[in-house]
Amino acid sequence: MSVLLPLSVVVPLVAATLLMAASRAWNRRGYDVFAIAAAGSVLVICIVLLFNSTREPMVYWFGDWSPKDGVALGVSFVAEPIALTLATLAAFLVTASLVYSWHFFDTVGNLFHVLMLVFLGAMIGFCLTGDLFTLFVFFELMSVTAFSLAGYKIEEEGSLQGSLNFAVTNSIGAFLILSGIALLYGRTGALNLAQIGESLAGGPADGLVITAFVFLIAGYFVKAAVVPFHFWLPDTYASAPTPVCVLFAGILSELGLYAIARVYWTMFDGVFGAGLVNLRAVMVGTGAVTAIVGAVMCWPQRHIKRLLAFSTVSHVGMFLVGVGLFSPVALAGTVVYLVTDGLVKGSLFFCAGILLHRLSSVDELGCDGLGRDIPYTGILFLLGGLGLAGLPPFGTFVGKAIIEEEAAHLGYSWVTYLVVAASVLTAAPVLRAGARVFWGYGPGDAYGHHSEAEGDEGEPETSEARDITPPLMWVTAAALLGVSLVAGMIPDLSIRLEPAADFFLDRGAYADLVLRGVTPHEVPLPPGAPLLKGAVIGLITALAAVFAAAMGLWHAKLPASMKGIIAKGLGPPFGRLRALHSGHVGDYVAWLTVGVAVLGGLLAATIG
């Protein structure tokens, strides 16, 4: 069984090199079949490991270098259910994206498939590792592969500029992380997460520890796109190829947050334990700001992929609230939310890809009513919008309900309002765009002006006939949505994750397992709680989103006084916020620096 652990990473990597070596020897279908088979087998490996790890977490030492006297000489993988849930999601999304790409754009020979497989190996390695520097290496590997994938459509200026902004900001994030690692290595003389945690726990929470922590989380915030480190994300997502967007929105940002939870609970919990209340306030506050900024920016977008990108920012904010509550219940809820939301958003991006295929555009206004011929895609799109809102039984409502409840329990009862507001503001524009594009609802000049179409892409991503939608395209979109729906109907889903979350948060048990090979004792399942309240909130959110979408479509019919209030009250701050998203990489780096300084200041004041 343990042999599957290295294979989960090595299989996709080796498959990528084989594909690369076979260049020109095979044809396109050969690459497709081979890549799908490789990703699919990784998915199976991940599922087997996941089920196995719920019975007993496992440690694997590369090169057989198991620790001597608590000193780790080599690199370890730690198989536990939370990490493996994310790894499984990654494998599932990569497989789906490769299937979706069957009819998709003309790839440059095999290079697209090669990169997708390397990306998969990178994500799984990132999830499973128990070593701080390996975490950095696989972070870099994910990043570099993502830069290349983002810039894949070189015929577009926006795509190139987006990937350059992406690469510069994320590289700086990586250097911050490496500096943080250097500080921790200087203090503890270790790179193993558990060993660093044990070493730090005996020392003070001084400047070095706080700085290292700030550098690490700032780096992961860049990847997760937390405000004000988020500017690169909409630029990149709007212009990257659709199958790549699915991975970026569905798993890449989420992995940044996973890393924050991982490094906190394995290394910093002991030394920061006393300041946890303050740390929680900082994290929940940052998450709330991110959720709001993303949601507010989402509304005025007419480029559908950019719209979905800002909704990703908003949802990342909500995940951060969940992770930042620092409790096992909230973590379990966040994992459920994150997985189901990733699937829904993936499905929405797939639908946007179908639009691109059929109409060569994802401009909401430019495509007004043009999607009438593809009503089934329209239905999928609208269902996806409702899934974002958290309409039961989409799994999203379960996760949100648990985060809300746990937040209230910890004294953050306003989180419920935040989650509802952000959900409405991100789901409504999706519904609005869907209703307009697929059914032609609403007047054409909704914004009272005709600017040039924003969603036109220089070249379509597909070369096949545009009068039909290849079945594999909508089947994958439907499959993602279906899995999210089914997940919501599994009773007590998050309760089942709670023992795993308990272990995730137990620094002592983790260190015992990694450094001394002591298996954690089993935790009984907590009693299941009915989610009736959450279901009602989900229903209300969905209804409110439908109502807001209708307002967006027919806002010309609102009374003049109300329009005046909206224009005067919201216009200027809106405009200022939009202007900050300038597309200028220098601006982004300046904000990144400010973000590090502010985070450092906040934590120094509250923990130090």
Partner 1 sequence: MSLRGRRNLFALGVLGFSVLFLWGLNGLPAFGHYEGVYGITLNRVAVTQRHATNLVAAVTFDYRGFDTLGEEFILFAAVVGVAILLRAQRDEAATPDEEDEETKDESRDAPHTSDAVRVLGLALIGPTVLFGLYIVAHGHLTPGGGFQGGVVLATAALLVYLTGEYVALRRVSPESVTELAESVGAGGYAAIGFIGLLTGQAFLTNVLPLGMTGQLNSSGTILLINLAVGVGVAGGFSLILAEFLEQTLLVREREHG
Partner 2 sequence: MSFLPFAVAAWLFAVGLYGIVTSRHLIHLVVCLSVVQSSTYVLLLAIGYRTGASAPIFVEIPPGAPAVDPVVQALTLTDVVVAATVSALLLAMAVQVHKKAGTFDPDELDTLQG
Binding residues among 163-192 for partner 2 as defined by CB under 8 A:
163-165, 167-168, 171-172, 175, 178-179, 182, 185-186, 191
Toward partner 1, which CB reaches closer, 92 or 213? 213
Q: Which of residues 205-234 bind partner 1 (CB under 8 A)?
A: 206-212, 214-215
Q: How far apart are CA 337 and CA 538, in angstroms?
A: 13
Q: Note the Cα 324 to chain centre separation in Å.
A: 16
Helices (H), 252-275: 253-263, 269-272
> In the structure, how many helices (H) and strands (E) does the chain have?
24, 2
Q: How far apart are CA 26 and CA 602, in angstroms?
A: 56
Q: How far apart are CA 562 and CA 555, in angstroms?
A: 10
108 binds, among partner 2, partner 1, none (CB under 5 to 8 A by kind): partner 1
Phi, psi of 71, deg, nearest 5:
-105, 120
584 touches partner 1 (CB under 8 A):
yes
Q: Which of residues 557-586 bind partner 2 (CB under 8 A)?
A: 578-579, 581-586
Q: Which of residues 136-175 bind partner 1 (CB under 8 A)?
A: 137-138, 140-141, 144-145, 147-148, 151-152, 154-155
How many residues would you count in the chain?
A: 608
Measure Cα distances from 65 to 191, 196, 383, 436, 509 in Å: 14, 17, 50, 60, 21
Judged by CB under 8 A, the number of residues near partner 1 is: 84
278 touches partner 2 (CB under 8 A):
no
Toward partner 1, which CB reaches closer, 140 or 492? 140
Toward partner 1, which CB reaches closer, 188 or 494? 188
417 binds, among partner 2, partner 1, none (CB under 5 to 8 A by kind): none
- Which of 160, 281, 495, 551 binds partner 2 (CB under 8 A)? It is 160
26 touches partner 1 (CB under 8 A):
no
- Which of 50, 91, 98, 183 binds partner 1 (CB under 8 A)? It is 183
- Which of 86, 89, 190, 194 binds partner 1 (CB under 8 A)? It is 190
162 binds, among partner 1, partner 2, none (CB under 5 to 8 A by kind): partner 2
600 touches partner 1 (CB under 8 A):
yes
Q: Which residues contact residue 91 at a Cβ distance below 8 angstroms, ignoring those fewer than 6 apart?
A: 39, 42, 43, 45, 46, 120, 124
| 245 within 8 A of 349, measured Cβ to Cβ | yes
Provide the β-strand partners of residue 78. Answer: 59
Phi, psi of 260, deg, nearest 5:
-65, -50
406 binds, among partner 1, partner 2, none (CB under 5 to 8 A by kind): none
156 binds, among partner 1, partner 2, none (CB under 5 to 8 A by kind): partner 2
Provide the β-strand partners of residue 363. Answer: 303
Q: Which residues contact residue 579 at a Cβ distance below 8 angstroms, ignoring those fewer than 6 apart?
A: none
456 touches partner 2 (CB under 8 A):
no
Helices (H), 189-275: 193-201, 207-224, 232-239, 242-247, 253-263, 269-272
Alpha-carbon dihedral of residues 271, 274, 279, 281, nearest 10 degrees? 170
Q: Which residues contact residue 263 at a Cβ distance below 8 angstroms, ignoring those fewer than 6 apart?
A: 132, 135, 193, 213, 216, 217, 220
Q: Which of residues 398-417 bind partner 2 (CB under 8 A)?
A: none
Q: How far apart are CA 182 and CA 572, in angstroms?
A: 44
Selected range binding partner 1 among 61-69, 85-93, 427-435, 542-550, rule: CB under 8 A: 61-69
Toward partner 1, which CB reaches closer, 38 or 493? 38
- Which of 44, 201, 543, 589 binds partner 2 (CB under 8 A)? It is 589
Measure Cα distances from 94 to 124, 128, 302 in Å: 11, 17, 27
Toward partner 1, which CB reaches closer, 215 or 381? 215
Q: Which of residues 198-237 bind partner 2 (CB under 8 A)?
A: 235
Selected range binding partner 1 among 2-10, 89-97, 336-344, 516-524, rule: CB under 8 A: 2-10
Q: Which of residues 126-155 bind partner 2 (CB under 8 A)?
A: 133, 140, 144, 147-148, 151, 154
Where does this chain bind partner 2 (CB under 8 A)?
133, 140, 144, 147-148, 151, 154, 156-158, 160-165, 167-168, 171-172, 175, 178-179, 182, 185-186, 191, 235, 238, 300, 578-579, 581-586, 589-590, 593
